[in-house]
Structure 1
Amino acid sequence: MRRGRFSLDDLPAWCVLNDVTFVNVKVANINGRGYGLIADKDLTNEDENVDLPALLTVPKDLVLSAEGVEEYAKENKDFRLLLDIAGHKSTRGDILLFLMVQLVLSSPDYNGSLGPSTPWTQYFSLLPSRVPTPTMWNEPELSQLKGTSLESAVSAKLTVLTKEFDDLRAKAADLPYWNELLSIDESITIQDWILLDALYRSRSLGLPKSGESMVPCLDLVNHSSQATAYFDENSTGDVALHLRKGCAVSYDEEITIDYGKDKSPAEMLFSYGFIDSDSTSRSLVLPLEPLEDDPLAAAKLHAFGISPKLELVEDEDGIPHSSAPFVYLMCLNEEDGLQFRVLQETDGSRHLRMFWQDVDVTHVPNTVKDLIHDHELYQVFELRVITVILNIIQQQLQELSDSQHNTEAPESVRQEIWQAVSHLKSLETSILEKSLRVLDEQRAQLLEHATVVEYLKAMESDQNDMVAEAANEEEDFS
């Protein structure tokens, strides 16, 4: 659906009409960063005893939160019908439905009667029609993610978005106007839904009181790990932007906020479409799959309850640490004392229960490491875990290495995306290589542990006995 037009020149009048106030700052087009907020004069906040006025104040009724969506539904019966039939699953989902309505209301193609417009109807047209998040990249650009932690994450996200849109179309089939837009004329497409999701992810903020929200004008403020401003909610629910204590910003210099200093490079690229080169956060997350030959794989996944993952995080000293609770479950079997039983309740319902050493541990699947800590074979279990993680890291490193055969961006790949992905690959390669070295050392130490040595000798002896027994059986048969 075609987008409406609302230029930066129209924003001051919109702000006056909707009680949005700027103090000594203004919105401007920042070279290479889109819209942003700059100082209209030299600003300083170095006096601890002086409270400066907020740089930006946005009234509560403009904040697009769960509460804001519900308020709009009270005013617009058509939106209420859509929300009741396709919403109420998550704040994100409800906000996306609201944004979809604004997309329609603000479009020059709109000629229906979807109820009253809102301040967001105009403001929506100021938002970009393309967002540099990976879900909006073309196929050649997406292929550049091969070998990175984002490869599977973006693929999974696109699958989810497609399913969401298909579900929306199916549920809206009973609403004539929306059925026409979504299914008959296809005026709203999956690409529109992907855009709405990208707008939400790249512009939503976690507010202290309202939770995940979109805030007009505040969402124009760009990120910096050396942020000069911060936002909060005041006693009346208005959202305000303040200059940080001890900060000074010169005239025409950009005002910035921190989108999340602990976000990994992959998270930043996934949600915002860029990587902060000044950030010191170094981590990555990889999805985990059960061992292919594990007969208990399905039961373990069911008991674990959430999508298993491996997280590698560097501390302040650059030393990587791994976290993968599911791997401990992967590395245990029935011979060790892990069991699954289906129990039937008095009402006839059946439930899968997980037991360790005959103790029901169904409700604590994330604490398997703690459960096995006092077991006599704990070091053996740790060796299994480290070996599995090492194999995953080695495979990921190989995929990264195989994907880095081009030294220049292909013609169909935008230069800024090529640079961002190259940066991501460099960072993730470093984390993986460091983790490999640390885990190799831990594995070597475990192989020298008395418990492990004794266990491996016993395993070797049992294997030799089995070979000898098999040979004797062959001789007897002959």
Structure 2
Amino acid sequence: MANVQLLTSWALLTGITIEPGVAVRSTGDTGLGVVYDGPGIAATDGEPSPFITVPADMIINSENIQRMARSQPRLAALLATAIDAYEPMPGEDAAAESRPLLDREIICRFLVYSMHDFKADKHQHEQQGNIFRQFLAFYPREGVLTPTTWTEPERLLLAATSIFRAVDAKRNKLESEFLAFEKVFSRVYPGESMTLHEYLLADFYISSRAMEMPSSTDRKVGLVPLVDFANHRAHVETNCKYEYLADGSIALVSVGRAVAAGDELVISYGDDKGAGEMLFSYGFVPAIETDDGFVADGALKLRIVPELEEDRAKEYLLGKPAVLEIRQDGASRTVEWTCDYLWLAIVGRRDGLELELVELVTGEDELRLSYNGRVVDTRAERWLDGLKQQMHDRTDTVADRTIGMWPVYYVRACVRVLELIEHTLEVPRVESDECRPAVVAVAEQCIAIETKVLRQAQATVRSQMETMYEAHRADIEWYMKHA
């Protein structure tokens, strides 16, 4: 890695403001971080104090990259279009279509272009005009990184985690993007060759460092030099935050807590993110475990893969993936679970829920949902809440006995949640001698934390189910016997 003291010189030359006493330097296991060596700052409720301010034109985002490309024809050619292969119809040859690059793809291609070690002198000379190349030399290029950069045996270590499918899907997507970009790259720079690792590294930088740009209606992101070296702590331990300024600049500022000389300036990457999500996005696993062993780890998300056509249709109506989300509150020692999809999955025609494919006057097909003979407007806001309320109020007459159906539905939901948790816990751990020790360690850490969270959730859901069952035992058993 380049001499970190050069970062300050680079910042001054590019208009980035670093306040006296603020420095970027090694912080041990977390790599580089932002440290305050100035006089102590007392806790205050007043205006936040800036530590680093990055002007708008020094943010690595698609707008600035495309502005640079106007004077660099080869860079412009790299950013022209993406080629997506698509499945041909029977009898057709394999086909592809062009489309504009996504915001993330623009940044990804620019990072590869900026970091690539060109062989030809003319290409090296071209890179000298890239103001960000010197800064990007300080980004890590080896180590644990994120799982999409791992080898196949290393990725298999995550088989027992909540992110295994997501890592596999993203890796496949990145490999597809790389193959398309590799063709463009070799055409623009004959004789040069880029590697998959370069592309995976670029995506790692975006995943772990990019932040959403202010006033962005389409969720554009950017890398904010120096500010993006601020490391993560739980929200209660942070002493800094990002702030968007009126002129488009982005600053690392204090949050009112006292800062002593020698303190590291830290931010929260999101306390609602669980161990798996942190590893997936940032490449490390934080953990908050209380003295009594309770793990408060943000949200653990388990993907549910609908197998039946009817269940896939229900997922389609939701407009989002079927996910069981488990949250833990360290203060109250409580566990909560939510899963919108589940409330559709546990009911069917016998319960009054119908799915129908209807042809509209326009000739298009529409998937229509009805409950108790009434059409549910799935385009309405919070329509699922309305459906759940109807389920809560529903009664059914079974063998001359009228019973409330909500306890039956609730127990069904609990059973499905417990089945998913138990299935996840039963996934065997994978071991391999081909894996780096540091990767093995972080994978095992993720598995250990998620296992504790799942055990906590398992006990909570089982208790909730038993409480509901005991309170409505007569009706539930009658329904189970006669329905």
Q: What TM-score do the two structures reach when normalised by structure 1?
A: 0.82
Partner residue, 2:207: 201
| CA shift for structure 1 position 22 | 1.6
SS in 1 for 2:159: coil
Q: Say whether the 8 Å CA contact 1:37–1:221 is kept in structure 2.
A: yes
Among residues 381, 384, 394, which one is paired with 2:422 in the alignment? 394
1:297 aligns with 2:311: yes
1:360 aligns with 2:398: no
User: Mean Cα displacement is larger for which, 263-272 or 123-132?
Assistant: 123-132
CA RMSD of aligned residues (A): 2.9
In structure 2, C-alpha distance between the alignment counterparts of 1:424 and 1:333, rounded to whole Å = 37
Among residues 448, 453, 457, which one is paired with 2:481 in the alignment? 457
Aligned positions of 1:389-428 closer than 5 A: 389-399=417-427, 402-403=428-429, 412-428=434-450
Segments of 5+ residues of structure 2 without an aligned counterpart are 83-98, 290-295, 396-404
Amino acid paired to 1:18 = T
Q: 1:262 to 1:302 in 2, by over 3 A?
A: closer
| CA shift for structure 1 position 6 | 4.8
Q: 1:111 to 1:355 in 2, by over 3 A?
A: farther
In structure 2, C-alpha distance between the alignment counterparts of 1:415 and 1:139, rounded to whole Å = 15
Q: 1:130 to 1:88 in 2, by over 3 A?
A: farther
Aligned length: 437
| CA shift for structure 1 position 239 | 1.7
Among residues 161, 183, 188, which one is paired with 1:148 in the alignment? 161
Amino acid paired to 1:277 = A
Amino acid paired to 1:266 = G
Amino acid paired to 1:143 = L
| CA shift for structure 1 position 85 | 1.4
Q: Say whether the 8 Å CA contact 2:275–2:285 is kept in structure 1.
A: yes
1:103 aligns with 2:115: yes
1:163 aligns with 2:191: no
Amino acid paired to 1:20 = I
Q: What TM-score do the two structures reach when normalised by structure 2?
A: 0.81
Q: 1:249 to 1:413 in 2, by over 3 A?
A: farther
User: Mean Cα displacement is larger for which, 112-121 or 327-336?
Assistant: 112-121
In structure 1, C-alpha distance between the alignment counterparts of 2:76 and 2:375, rounded to whole Å = 45
1:136 aligns with 2:149: yes
Segments of 5+ residues of structure 1 without an aligned counterpart are 460-478
1:59 aligns with 2:81: no
Amino acid paired to 1:381 = Y
Superposed CA offset, 1:373-430 (max 9, x none): 222223222222211111111111122xx328x7xxx654334333322322222122
In structure 1, C-alpha distance between the alignment counterparts of 2:80 and 2:362, rounded to whole Å = 32
In structure 2, C-alpha distance between the alignment counterparts of 1:454 and 1:114, rounded to whole Å = 79
Aligned positions of 1:281-292 closer than 5 A: 281-290=297-306, 292=307
Amino acid paired to 2:450 = E
Partner residue, 2:187: 179
Q: 1:319 to 1:288 in 2, by over 3 A?
A: same
1:380 aligns with 2:408: yes
In structure 1, C-alpha distance between the alignment counterparts of 2:61 and 2:345, rounded to whole Å = 40
SS in 1 for 2:158: coil
Partner residue, 1:463: none
| CA shift for structure 1 position 288 | 0.2
| CA shift for structure 1 position 60 | 1.1
Among residues 325, 332, 340, which one is paired with 1:325 in the alignment? 340
Q: 1:370 to 1:420 in 2, by over 3 A?
A: farther
Runs of 4 or more consecutive aligned structure 1 residues displaced over 6 Å after TM superposition: 113-116
Amino acid paired to 1:349 = E
Superposed CA offset, 1:143-166 (max 9, x none): 322211122221122122223334
Q: Say whether the 8 Å CA contact 1:145–1:151 is kept in structure 2.
A: yes
Amino acid paired to 2:34 = L
Among residues 27, 30, 36, which one is paired with 2:27 in the alignment? 30
| CA shift for structure 1 position 169 | 5.1
Partner residue, 1:231: 242
In structure 2, C-alpha distance between the alignment counterparts of 1:383 and 1:91, rounded to whole Å = 45
Q: 1:420 to 1:115 in 2, by over 3 A?
A: closer
User: Mean Cα displacement is larger for which, 317-326 or 412-421?
Assistant: 412-421
Aligned positions of 1:87-98 closer than 5 A: 88=100, 90-98=102-110
Partner residue, 1:307: 321
In structure 1, C-alpha distance between the alignment counterparts of 2:119 and 2:389, rounded to whole Å = 61
Higher helix share: 1
Amino acid paired to 1:313 = R
Among residues 270, 278, 281, which one is paired with 1:268 in the alignment? 278
Q: Say whether the 8 Å CA contact 1:88–1:94 is kept in structure 2.
A: no
| CA shift for structure 1 position 284 | 0.7
Q: Say whether the 8 Å CA contact 1:130–1:136 is kept in structure 2.
A: no
1:83 aligns with 2:79: yes
In structure 2, C-alpha distance between the alignment counterparts of 1:417 and 1:208, rounded to whole Å = 35
Superposed CA offset, 1:222-250 (max 9, x none): 22221222221222122222233131222
Q: Say whether the 8 Å CA contact 1:6–1:123 is kept in structure 2.
A: no
- Identity rate of aligned residues, in percent? 25
